[in-house]
């Protein structure tokens, strides 16, 4: 800021000298006076622009630099996080065959246990059905024996009746009737 007035003063003092020199060269065919005026105008404009735009431009550039630094830091952090996640995934993928093998072994063991349980349950069910069948058969045999006894008793009774009818006489019948009447009298008394 302190240099701006000195620069303007320098330009103001040298402008007449440049103007004279420009006039001499103007005669030679080059319009130096116009070139000098334009150079002075440009210099003044540049000095004014620098004077007024230095702070906003500086703060803009600082903000832009800070944003770029922050974006670079975030990108580095994201890259680090992505590398960490990739390492985790690669570790999981590397461990996957061992997990699959462990699961297969566990499933095989469970299948063996389940097959054993099924065989034991089948054997128990088979034994239960066999016992039930034996019990049912025994009951049927007892039932058949009882029916056979009843049939045999009926046939023996019929045969005995037949034998008694053929061998019994009327005197035997009277004697049996009298004996039975006598027994009934004893019971009634």
Q: What is the pTM of this model?
A: 0.36
Tokens 């006076």 sit on residue: 33
Q: Which two tokens stand for residue 23?
A: 């006039």
Q: Any idea what the Cα angle at residue 111 is, between residues 106 and 112, rounded to 5°? A: 100
Specify whether the CB–CB gap between 47 and 40 falls below 8 A. no
> Residue-wise pLDDT tens for the chain (189 aa)?
556 666 666 666 666 666 666 566 555 577 888 888 899 999 989 888 888 888 888 888 899 999 999 999 999 999 999 999 999 999 989 888 988 999 999 999 999 999 999 999 999 999 999 999 899 999 999 998 888 888 888 888 888 878 777 777 778 778 878 888 888 888 886
Specify whether the CB–CB gap between 4 and 47 falls below 8 A. yes
In angstroms, rounded to a whole number, what is the distance separating the alpha carbons of residues 25 and 99?
93
Q: Select from 62, 61, 16, 20 the least CA-distant residue to 40.
A: 16
Strands (E) in 12-160, as ranges, are none
In angstroms, rounded to a whole number, what is the distance separating the alpha carbons of residues 119 and 84?
51
């Amino acid at each position: 800021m302190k240099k701006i007035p000195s620069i303007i003063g320098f330009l103001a003092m040298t402008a007449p000298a440049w103007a004279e020199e420009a006039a001499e060269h103007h005669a030679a065919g080059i319009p130096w006076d116009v070139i000098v005026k334009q150079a002075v105008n440009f210099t003044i404009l540049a000095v004014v622009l620098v004077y007024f735009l230095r702070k906003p431009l500086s703060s803009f550039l600082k903000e832009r630099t800070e944003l770029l630094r922050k974006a670079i830091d975030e990108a580095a952090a994201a890259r680090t996080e992505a590398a960490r996640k990739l390492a985790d995934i690669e570790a999981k993928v590397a461990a996957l065959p061992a997990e699959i093998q462990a699961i297969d072994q566990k499933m095989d063991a469970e299948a063996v246990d389940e097959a054993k349980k099924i065989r034991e349950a089948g054997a128990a069910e088979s034994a239960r059905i066999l016992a039930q069948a034996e019990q049912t058969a025994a009951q049927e045999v007892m039932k058949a024996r009882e029916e056979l006894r009843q049939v045999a008793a009926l046939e023996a009774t019929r045969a005995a009746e037949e034998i008694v009818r053929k061998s019994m006489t009327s005197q035997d019948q009277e004697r049996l009737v009298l004996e039975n009447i006598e027994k009934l009298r004893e019971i009634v008394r």
